[in-house]
Structure 1
Amino acid sequence: MGDNPGVLVLNAGSSSLKYRLVAPDRPDDLDHGLIERIGEPGGDATDHAHAVATVVERLSGQTITATGHRVVHGGDRFRAPVLVDDEVIGAIEELARLAPLHNPAAAAGIRAARAALPGTPAVAVFDTAFHATLPPPAYTYALDQELASRYGIRRYGFHGISVRYVVDATARLLDRPVAQLNLIVLHLGNGASATAVRGGASVATSMGLTPLEGLVMGTRAGDIDPAVVFHLARVSGLSLDEIEDRYQHRSGLAGLCGDNDLRVVQARADAGEPDAALALDVYCHRIRHYVGAYHAVLGRLDAVVFTAGVGEHSGQVRQQSLDGLDALGIVVDPARNRSGTGARVVSPDTGRVVVCVVPTDEERAIAQETAALLEMNGSW
């Protein structure tokens, strides 16, 4: 066995398994990889059990101290990482009613890991858990409350693993305690969300019951009049499943201009294509809308933080999203915004609100939270 005990982080999708072996106190990976097309003809594995067994075989020279699992939806039951047992797996499967595309795969991955690594502790880390601090006015929908309570309809929020990691990294960048910071974290990838964070606690977030609400995303519409679905059902002949498919996979940037990759959209907009320019304008307008709203929620704002693929790499999106917010003390320095890598400040030194870029690392966050829980329980 290897000399570096690590956490095997597993992110199970319906037909893929992403894995990283991470030593929480080391900056580099011990190993990483991807199992694709699970259960498909010619795929890497016949099912999740086979996929995890393949990963364990690949890592046979390494020491796996624990496994950490990303679970998208913890409902209002899981407010922090938990040590996995049969009851926890059952609860994750029950919560599939709220996340039918994600939780079943996560449960399958956890079961497979427990079978392939008997006796190795497994920890579930939930995307929704960071938002358990949302106050009732922020998580309650103005819906018939008996109906909402019966079916668990409320704002849960997502990207919490990433946001928690970025909040801590931002505090280090600014050399200030987390407890003293009011932040707006903009996680901009193919999925996108905004979160208002006061003293390390989520107090408002853009995603809701599902990851469909909020910002414009690669293929998701984000905020939309709820009556659109009723209108489409009446006039288009589309079934509810077909409308949901449009919302999930053929809206957002893809719906506006045919491309969901922001880099392609930017290039097309720069080349003068009107539909791509409109898509970029709508995308940035929605971000600006949330920054203004969350500034009001927080009262005092210390920093706007960009993270994830688009947030970390697109200076144009950062600039365009914050244009016109000078009166709020939010200004981007053009030279700083065009250059640099890693965690950095892209606002002028004179700005009242710091604008910064902070890379996220969800797998490392899962490894760290797994190790912290096991250390607290005396198992690390």
Structure 2
Amino acid sequence: MSQKILAINSGSSSLKFKLYELSEQTVLASGHVDRIGQRNSTFTFEIHGQKTIQAEKMDDHLAAIQAVVNGLLTSHVIEHKSEIIAVGHRISHGGRFYTHPVKVDAAVKAKIKELSVLSPLHNPVNLAGIEAFEKILPEAAEVATFDTSFHYTIPPKAYMYGLPYNYFKDHDIRRYGFHGPSHEYIVLKARELFGTQQTRRMITCHLGNGASLCAALDGKSVNSSMGFTPLAGLLMGTRSGDIDPEIIPFIEERFHMSSEDVRKMLNQDSGLLGLSGLSNDVRDLNQAAKAGNQRAQLALDVYVHQIQQYIGAYTTDLNGLDMLVFTAGVGEHSAMIRQAVCAQLTFLGVKLDDEKNRADALRIDAPNSRVKVAVIPTDEEAIIARDIKQVLGIK
């Protein structure tokens, strides 16, 4: 009976997984559950190049995890659950406590729960996933890979906030950055594909239901659009992104809302959904905008504008730009968003090849573009699998 490891990547409304053969680290099965908690959730399962997609209502991440395990068993990728010796989990917020992946124990679970206040859309579902696997696969070791770890190379000038210093010194209030496994994978893959000299100054755009940009210099993160929590930075599917801090007490006082009510509103009822009043999904908004829905078009315009602003700012951090990379659900599949973003970057010398962009090609820049532009599918699970082997000392 061969040993296997399972990489689990829970997003705010999705769950991705890959099952690896341990000895060769080949992918045996993979898949994802999309639109968790919505009426039109789907379960995609791929094995031996054969992909099946089925509509299956998933009320929460626990239901999605159970569907994954059932899929592995019924497809006979595994004959018994004991074949899976370790499960790796992507955890949103590690605070100052975790700069590297760790084996999960009671203390780690307690910290993940404690840090849930800083990542309310993610840490709770990440923890629920750990606890679900403790029941489903009680003999398997569990490893945590933290979203924040890759960004610990950000310098103080970029991670400090303009608050009294004791809030940082005594309470660790600072920019942390998130989507670390995705940005790390993209940086490593781009350097592998295009060489280290052509990728010295790189901006990676992780655009999904959650969205963030990372400025990377010589393979290391030097800035991230997300901050103390994953709420900061870009407008996202349901998250507000950056706002004037005075808006929060204004809303609390004017509408008699508690801090918890405001937190929920900013995380779950804002962003593309809040602006459009229609959907948190770029695909839905693009279709509605084409049909003349002005609020859908407004939401898309704000989204694109904010991405452009961060690219401009991060080009300053890097003192120039060699490569711009789009990844994640929107970044990989929305030619419309990529074209709209790059349309205002001609001052940097960015020029797209429209045909390649529509085809989601690896390189989508025109021959006369001064900046290389790429579309690289992210593989956070590969980072998680690497971390499992590293933490458990598996060669």
SS class of match (1:183): strand
Describe the superposition over 1:294-332 as per-residue Cα deviations: whole angstroms up to 9, x where unpaired. Answer: 000001311010001111111111111121322212222
1:217 corresponding residue in structure 2: 236
SS class of match (1:8): strand
Match among 234, 237, 256 for residue 237 of structure 1:
256
Alpha carbons of 1:100 and 1:314: their partners in 2 closer, same or farther (altered >3 Å)?
A: closer
* 8 Å contact from structure 1 (residues 131, 160) kept in 2: yes
2:381 corresponding residue in structure 1: 363
Deviation of 1:82 (Å)? 1.6
Give the number of aligned pairs. 367
Q: Distance in 1 between matches of 2:175 and 2:186?
A: 21
Q: Distance in 2 between matches of 1:14 and 1:188?
A: 13
The answer for unaligned runs of 5 or more in structure 2 is 38-56
Deviation of 1:29 (Å)? 3.5
Q: Distance in 2 between matches of 1:33 and 1:335?
A: 29
Deviation of 1:250 (Å)? 1.8
What amino acid is aligned across from residue 233 of structure 1 in structure 2?
E
* 8 Å contact from structure 1 (residues 162, 361) kept in 2: yes
* 8 Å contact from structure 2 (residues 333, 360) kept in 1: no
Match among 266, 286, 290 for residue 286 of structure 2:
266
Deviation of 1:226 (Å)? 0.8
Q: Distance in 2 between matches of 1:316 and 1:222?
A: 21
2:18 corresponding residue in structure 1: 20
1:135 corresponding residue in structure 2: 155
- Taking only aligned residues, the RMSD between alpha carbons, in angstroms, comes to 3.2
SS class of match (1:331): coil
* 8 Å contact from structure 1 (residues 71, 127) kept in 2: yes
Counterparts in 2 of 1:35-54, with a 5 A limit? Answer: none
1:195 corresponding residue in structure 2: 214
1:279 corresponding residue in structure 2: 299
What amino acid is aligned across from residue 232 of structure 2 in structure 1?
E
Describe the superposition over 1:118-162 as per-residue Cα deviations: whole angstroms up to 9, x where unpaired. Answer: 554322101111111111111111112213433321111111111
* 8 Å contact from structure 2 (residues 61, 129) kept in 1: no
1:301 corresponding residue in structure 2: 321
Deviation of 1:33 (Å)? 6.7
* 8 Å contact from structure 2 (residues 351, 368) kept in 1: no
Q: Distance in 2 between matches of 1:306 and 1:337?
A: 11
Q: Distance in 2 between matches of 1:109 and 1:33?
A: 14
Deviation of 1:106 (Å)? 3.0
Alpha carbons of 1:160 and 1:178: their partners in 2 closer, same or farther (altered >3 Å)?
A: farther
Describe the superposition over 1:258-309 as per-residue Cα deviations: whole angstroms up to 9, x where unpaired. Answer: 2211112112222333222222111111011000000000013110100011
Match among 161, 166, 169 for residue 181 of structure 2:
161
Counterparts in 2 of 1:71-90, with a 5 A limit? Answer: 71-90=91-110
What amino acid is aligned across from residue 371 of structure 1 in structure 2?
K
Alpha carbons of 1:27 and 1:316: their partners in 2 closer, same or farther (altered >3 Å)?
A: farther
Alpha carbons of 1:298 and 1:87: their partners in 2 closer, same or farther (altered >3 Å)?
A: same
2:8 corresponding residue in structure 1: 10
What amino acid is aligned across from residue 238 of structure 1 in structure 2?
M
Are residue 353 (structure 1) and residue 352 (structure 2) matched? no
Q: Distance in 1 between matches of 2:128 and 2:240?
A: 29
Alpha carbons of 1:119 and 1:26: their partners in 2 closer, same or farther (altered >3 Å)?
A: closer
What amino acid is aligned across from residue 21 of structure 2 in structure 1?
A
TM-score of the aligned structures, taking structure 2 as reference length: 0.82
Deviation of 1:51 (Å)? 6.2
SS class of match (1:345): coil
Match among 322, 335, 338 for residue 318 of structure 1:
338
* 8 Å contact from structure 2 (residues 154, 221) kept in 1: yes
Answer with 129-138 or 49-58: which moved more: 49-58
Q: Distance in 1 between matches of 2:9 and 2:220?
A: 25
Alpha carbons of 1:217 and 1:103: their partners in 2 closer, same or farther (altered >3 Å)?
A: closer
2:49 corresponding residue in structure 1: none
* 8 Å contact from structure 1 (residues 179, 199) kept in 2: no
What amino acid is aligned across from residue 320 of structure 1 in structure 2?
A
Alpha carbons of 1:79 and 1:47: their partners in 2 closer, same or farther (altered >3 Å)?
A: closer
Q: Distance in 2 between matches of 1:220 and 1:50?
A: 22
SS class of match (2:233): coil
What amino acid is aligned across from residue 6 of structure 2 in structure 1?
L
The answer for unaligned runs of 5 or more in structure 1 is 38-42
Answer with 55-64 or 303-312: which moved more: 55-64
TM-score of the aligned structures, taking structure 1 as reference length: 0.85
Q: Distance in 1 between matches of 2:32 and 2:280?
A: 25
Deviation of 1:107 (Å)? 3.5
2:41 corresponding residue in structure 1: none
Q: Distance in 1 between matches of 2:91 and 2:322?
A: 31
SS class of match (2:236): coil
Q: Distance in 1 between matches of 2:197 and 2:182?
A: 15
Q: Distance in 1 between matches of 2:163 and 2:274?
A: 29
